[in-house]
A and B are shown apart, each in its own frame.
Chain A
Amino acid sequence: MHKIETKEINLHYGNFHALKGINLVAKENTVTALIGPSGCGKSTYLRLFNRMNDLIDNVEISGQVLVDGEDIYGRRVQVDDLRKKVGMVFQKPNPFPKSIYENVAYGLRVNGINDKKFIEERVVSSLQQAALWEEVKDKLNKSAFELSGGQQQRLCIARALAVQPSVLLMDEPASALDPLSTSKIEELIHTLKKDYTIIIVTHNMQQAGRVSDYTAFFYMGTLVEFNETKIIFTNPKNTQTQNYITGRFG
């Protein structure tokens, strides 16, 4: 059983056919990069896995989206529970207007956890996992907005990790960051995959090459090619894929 699987996914925004018959799998503890030109459906596809598309009007989805073998669009699925299991990090860091500590603790409190010691331990471990602990351990009660952009993004990752997801969705997590922060985020992804299954949308093909094990190339709503990243970047099977990754279009 794969960690994540989609079967014949079709998605319409009204009359617009945004995703066309997508069949894709992601193995546990791997990083899968979704690449393709703007508007090709990468972020739409990513948002399937935590049902963020539910928040958009006139969306119709057919097919199956499976996480750990369960169809997450089934009637019995609680979306709140799903979003604990499937965490998300967005392009622009979006810390809450709270302290660093409370940003990470928030998800636990909202889920009814009140044990102070438990929360503290989880906050520390999440910040450690996000490679941020050493930089913030002496100022946990400071506002999250006092952190740099790269630190805020790692705080958002810690926040997602605090509720112990098994899948992390990342929508261009480093595109708003400087090169050094980007490098830290990429190294963090490499470390996190030992414990999580990660799907990342990126416009930066070199980043896809550096961080991912598998790459899916999307074009106009279609999955053109999916393979091990090293094969996509050394010998793609599809001419369109080759044209995209060599910069001939897109």
Chain B
Amino acid sequence: MTHLESELQQLKDNLVEMWTLVKNQLSKAKEALVTEDKDLAREVISLEKRVNSFELSIDKDSENIFALFSPVAVDLRLVLAVIKINNNLERQGDCAKGIAKFVIDIDSSFDKNLLAVTRIIDMFDENIVMLTELIEAFEQEDGIIARKTFKRDEFLDIINDESTSILADYIRNNPDSAEQALQILSIIRKLERAGDHSKNIAEEIIFYAEAKILKHKV
């Protein structure tokens, strides 16, 4: 392995470690919501510091690689993709943190029926599967696996679109629980945004692996 290759491998390894951390944040945020575990929610928030630290160090390492090695071709695409994936992962970490804060702040239990009818748990699961597949796509430089994300993101968009009317009905029928419903809506929006970030990540993996630009086309 050349010097540049080992630097790039280290960069990839660090990104995957950050990726796994963000996936864990989302998993724990889901569990915290379902089990109303405020301690677990606090754990999600404390993980955020590590995610932020990774973001800074990966950005710095990428800058150093540009300055010291002037990478070209696939190596250049890799570093460019890493910078953007890094940014999207950090935003997904923010989504998880935001969800965790709701769990900490809520005074009463979430209506389990409301969680079921809005399919919020499906949204969590879909996000986690997307992140898992994207790690594999990145490590294998596989655009085909990355493209699976687009369908999954559409699924999240559908749930998001349906949630407004579902929650509006809920509020009409349960006016005392309006605040809770609005919190659920916020969480749904965050999960939909997390899906968008995964879609962005998929586009960057395809750019890295295939030198194709799908931004604004998909």
Give A residues with C-beta under 8 Å from B. 183, 186-187, 190, 206, 209-211, 229-230, 233-234
Contact = CB atoms under 8 A, between A and B. Distances in A.
Interface of B: 2-4, 63-64, 67-70
Contacts of A234: 63-64, 67
A146 B63 CA distance: 43
B71 to A, nearest CB: 11
A14 B49 CA distance: 61
A209 B67 contact: yes
Contacts of B69: 209-210
A230 B3 contact: no
Q: Secondary structure at chain B's binding surface: helix, strand, loop or mixed? A: helix
Nearest to B7: A210
A212 to B, nearest CB: 9
B67 A230 contact: yes
B68 A209 contact: yes
Contacts of A186: 3
B2 A229 contact: no
Contacts of A183: 2
Contacts of B63: 234
A32 to B, nearest CB: 15
Contacts of A229: 68
B1 to A, nearest CB: 10
A230 B64 contact: yes
A209 B66 CA distance: 10
Contacts of B67: 209, 230, 233-234
Contacts of B68: 209-210, 229-230, 233
A247 to B, nearest CB: 13
A210 B6 CA distance: 12
A32 B182 CA distance: 60
